[in-house]
Structure 1
């Protein structure tokens, strides 16, 4: 038998089912322009015996909800969801509401306990496991995503060994002290493992790449830190080519995001650092200020920043990286970022000639047009530009927009963008391309027809990925042949 539990124009999302199967938590979201983030999330509970539903509370920054012992709920929400309860910052500092905090909340009384205020990892999801007598949670910790166990008696967190640096899947057992996870890491494709929370045993269940990955030549991945002029310590990773020779010099690609999340250690992906390294590049991944997973003080630097801090940090860190690694040719550096990282690329090339070539995918050239036109531009800015609008902060919306400094660009720049992008409208790259073309700057533009913010369609993604490396080959290796092969012939007439 199938029964419809919700109705109406608004979408509903199931958050959790009670351990005994008697109740269900679900959320609905509405536009609400009274306060940030200009959205309101309703949390409801349905009695699955009577089908009666009641609204438990309205939230502003709720991300996840689950059942806990004693009639309480585990909630994952922003630091400010319950006033100052989850905030670990001075009053004058605005928290980054994307930095997930864990709360133990009692419906009815609205009593709440912040469980992770002094826990630096950013919580993504949490679930009570009765057999383990603990909360099991997934959280971003620096450039990894790990599994943790929280003892509600002692309030102590313990990280669980999963065998993967970055967890993409996380499924606690319903009736056993056990956990199934999927994840990957540098040079380790996605695989599935089983964790016995009693014995601590980790057992590999599925490794789809096992039949071919052992034959792949792999390079080393090293951690490297530096302290930049702002006083911030910048974490970083270095991917070395499989045949790396420290006596040689190599071109290098610098890959960053610089938004509210770090570039994690997951294998491959849309920006495959392992593949770039296999093409003969050293790849440097710096983690500038503002990312979650490093504690609230670090993530709060993202708020109302929009490039004013992170661009200088990337330039400083890259110069230190080159100076500390003689095998990197400082005259053959490439820069690449996507989305907020694409904005960062655009900003970088207006402020430095450090890079010999750069790539921006789905970048933001004018913060005000993105704010007004993007599918979620003004709601993202509700986090990243809290309290700031085009009319009260032209220094941010104009002063930090790369478009208004386009006349400073000298670096060869490849712009790429999905034509159907609903997140960052394609006009952001259109406008920057038009400006650079009129200014006579070295620029090319690759539009991917029919695709959204993420280039996911396999055949088109292959062409897009190859074009990025071909662009770098052209300027960092002096090998333009691949680019010329991929570039379509000019239209006649």
Structure 2
């Protein structure tokens, strides 16, 4: 019996394209592609090569380049065409049998076996390559006071032999998403590329031995000649807050110069132009309590003078990904817009903004070709997983040309449409609506409302973790709205709910739910609601403000905001909008769902991972306890080893199975069936 892809055992086996990289000469495309690992209990990634021509022009099938039990991550080309990538695979030439940390490996341009070219005691994380010189810069966690790899190894050995795992913190942050920060911290090192026949990179030179925590989560980019590294640099601003500046570091001397810094803005994601004269940056503000909400734009900086300007000053776009054209005269960027993520081109001289793509796709990983004719990118949508495409670099509202993909080409078990309505304040609220194949006026489908996370994002593309088609295949319609706080609709959409998440967003999602339920192909008497992170916050808010839903699923959700504010991994960012509970209690009183725990009547499935540091497990535990105290029909699906996301294949299956069983029980009245492995 052949199973469809939306059966859970098959779903977790699907290959997933996670990035795209074009060689400097424009002849090769490489993508990391994840899939079920050899042990069947984890996802591993391998590198695949993709033909730059479509099948209609003779493009060949993708071919796998790497294969290891540990998998391979990001990849970048060296000037000679060889491929540098990160992997935690064991080095066959290493003398030690210790479990290896992530290292840098190289795959020769002409083929052959990959070999390790750089390793450090703290592993290797992000890396970048100078386009022309081939100089390599990479980050590695290093203990304070360790001037060499040998000294760092000794520091690690001393802690291990003494049985010490403690970390002494003197500033924030202390953890991030699902990982502890310290006792070692990242440093940027540079090394010359392997010479012909050489076995490894050259000597590792530490560019910032005094960095401390300044390079935590930093990314960087080298100038084409390798003379300077441009990187993020965190600066303490008092009361545990940080600001992210951009600095340049001379790779020969280590001399550091601040390139971009503003008191109320952060900069990130540096991309140096091919001619080495300018740097593209993401510039954003976390907003102010009494002023404007968050903002995000694309910033252009002169590398010599530090003079900067907003490339999107006349456009309220929220850029997500960007890249330089080969001639350094224009920039390509993907930005949220009206439930889509089109690709745009900005001419630097005139400032003219042109939308390249006119479809409903969500684009990412733009890679302009060196001849200026094309942009290679990943395209996804709610009805298509990420896959490589070729675009005309000069088009206006053009269509993508699909390339042969190493990922999964899928046929959806239903249809995708859009609906919209008008909120009580006159604002337009739009939404995607996924409908099962059998939905009709004669056979209306039960509805599940999903509210996205963020909240500063948009429901505009494919999700492996929250996939509505798995519900559609089981007969449910799924509503995917962009309410207040969603990006892609201008700053006014953020202003509407800035500091008032609960009441304003609730009104929006109720309005669009009303519009969906008014359709003849929707059964308004059988509705449920789901959300994760901010969507989980809205699930909790909705539970205390209406009983119109038959069931609610609350994943990784905020419940008691006063406790959450100091235990999340980045409290200062949160406080820019909400203040602190003691000094500024008003927004906590207005917005905290736990204050209406006594009003909850709807059955609730609580889901939380213990390693979630963005929304700590205490939120899920307190929510669960409050529901029990008020005798709500509730269950708690707890993952001891997962974080904000459920990432392991087995746990992902259980996540979906439990949700399906919970919805079937409460929406359809079926007998509760506990998933077998729980």
Indicate whether the TM-score tops 0.5: yes
Q: Find the counterpart in structure 1 of residue 624 from structure 2.
A: 433
Contact persistence 2:458–2:487 (CA under 8 A): no
What does residue range 313-328 of structure 1 map to in structure 2 within 5 Å?
A: 313-323=508-518, 325-328=519-522
* Cα distance in structure 1, aligned partners of 2:449 and 2:545: 16
Greater Rg by CA: 2
Q: Find the counterpart in structure 1 of residue 667 from structure 2.
A: 476
**What's the CA shift for 1:33?**
2.6
Q: Find the counterpart in structure 1 of residue 204 from structure 2.
A: 3
Deviations 1:58-93 (A, max 9, x none): 343213333357944332212689xxxxxxxxx997
* Cα distance in structure 2, aligned partners of 1:436 and 1:201: 50
Q: Find the counterpart in structure 2 of residue 24 from structure 1.
A: 229
Q: Are 2:460 and 1:254 aligned?
A: no
Deviations 1:152-204 (A, max 9, x none): 22211112239771224233346655422113112212211233425778443
CA spacing shift, 1:241–1:202, aligned 2, 3 Å:
closer
Q: Find the counterpart in structure 1 of residue 574 from structure 2.
A: 381
**What's the CA shift for 1:442?**
1.3
CA spacing shift, 1:92–1:474, aligned 2, 3 Å:
closer
What does residue range 15-94 of structure 1 map to in structure 2 within 5 Å?
A: 15-33=220-238, 38-48=241-251, 50-59=253-262, 60-68=265-273, 71-78=277-284, 94=291
What does residue range 385-400 of structure 1 map to in structure 2 within 5 Å?
A: 385=578, 388-400=579-591
Contact persistence 1:368–1:397 (CA under 8 A): yes
* Cα distance in structure 1, aligned partners of 2:553 and 2:289: 37
* Cα distance in structure 1, aligned partners of 2:453 and 2:648: 26
- SS of equivalent to 2:436: coil
CA spacing shift, 1:265–1:346, aligned 2, 3 Å:
same
Q: Are 2:103 and 1:103 aligned?
A: no
**What's the CA shift for 1:468?**
1.1
Q: Which has the higher helix share?
A: 1
What does residue range 353-368 of structure 1 map to in structure 2 within 5 Å?
A: 353-368=547-562
**What's the CA shift for 1:263?**
4.0
- SS of equivalent to 1:78: strand
Contact persistence 2:391–2:400 (CA under 8 A): yes
**What's the CA shift for 1:225?**
0.6
CA spacing shift, 1:361–1:425, aligned 2, 3 Å:
same
Alignment TM-score, normalising by the size of structure 1: 0.87
Q: Find the counterpart in structure 2 of residue 181 from structure 1.
A: 377
CA spacing shift, 1:379–1:146, aligned 2, 3 Å:
farther
Q: Give 2:611's match in structure 1, choosing from 414, 420, 426.
A: 420
* Cα distance in structure 1, aligned partners of 2:639 and 2:333: 37
Structure 1's unaligned 5+ residue stretches are 82-90, 489-493
CA spacing shift, 1:442–1:487, aligned 2, 3 Å:
farther
Q: How many residues align?
A: 468
Contact persistence 1:162–1:202 (CA under 8 A): no
Alignment TM-score, normalising by the size of structure 2: 0.64
CA spacing shift, 1:381–1:302, aligned 2, 3 Å:
farther
Q: Find the counterpart in structure 1 of residue 655 from structure 2.
A: 464
* Cα distance in structure 1, aligned partners of 2:499 and 2:636: 29
- SS of equivalent to 2:238: coil
Q: Give 2:405's match in structure 1, choosing from 204, 207, 211.
A: 207
CA spacing shift, 1:461–1:31, aligned 2, 3 Å:
farther
Q: Find the counterpart in structure 2 of residue 223 from structure 1.
A: 418
